Amino acid sequence: MRVHLGSDHAGLDLKGQLVGWLRDHGHEPVDHGPFVFDAADDYPVFCLRAAEGVVADPGSLGVVIGGSGNGEQIAANKVEGVRAALAWSEETAALARQHNDANVLSVGGRMHPLEVMTRFVEVFLSTAFTGEQRHVRRIGMLSHFEQTGELPPLPESARGHGADA
């Protein structure tokens, strides 16, 4: 499987390790940078390219890496068709695929040891989407909103309450 990678300086070490790990495990890494350490680099430059790579390459997945993974997830989610999830455990990495059919994983290079984050990526890549109707329905709502800007209808139980009242 092709795996598109992008990071900033805080994720550079993990990204470098992942390139080798991916090759060793039969995957094809596509590195969108950075390629040298620059403490002043900007994660959107690389993470947006990795996310666009995933969308343009059906069947591929992506991994974006920063200090916390938060900004990188936000950047990747700006690309139409991307569902990026932040993983902080093996369980969140698995659930990202099982329930959300996430196609990009975000991890924080300063949050866990390299071996632990590599395991998050391994779990993400080896886990399939369940395809359960409730998950398909929810992803459909998000995709519809992403394409049209139209909010999903409120359920009957929520009408007359809150901001939409």
Q: What is the 3-state secondary structure (H, E, C) of 57-77?
A: CCCCEEEEEECCCHHHHHHHH
For residue 72, indicate whether it is catalytic.
yes
Tell me how far apart the alpha carbons of residues 30 and 140 are, in angstroms, rounded to a whole number: 28
Pair 91, 124: CB distance under 8 Å: no
Catalytic residue among 99, 132, 135, 144: 99
Residue 22 structure tokens: 């991916």
For residue 144, indicate whether it is catalytic.
no
Q: Which helix (H) or strand (E) holds 106?
A: strand 104-108
Catalytic residue among 4, 32, 52, 72: 72
Q: Give catalytic residues, as residue numbers.
A: 72, 99
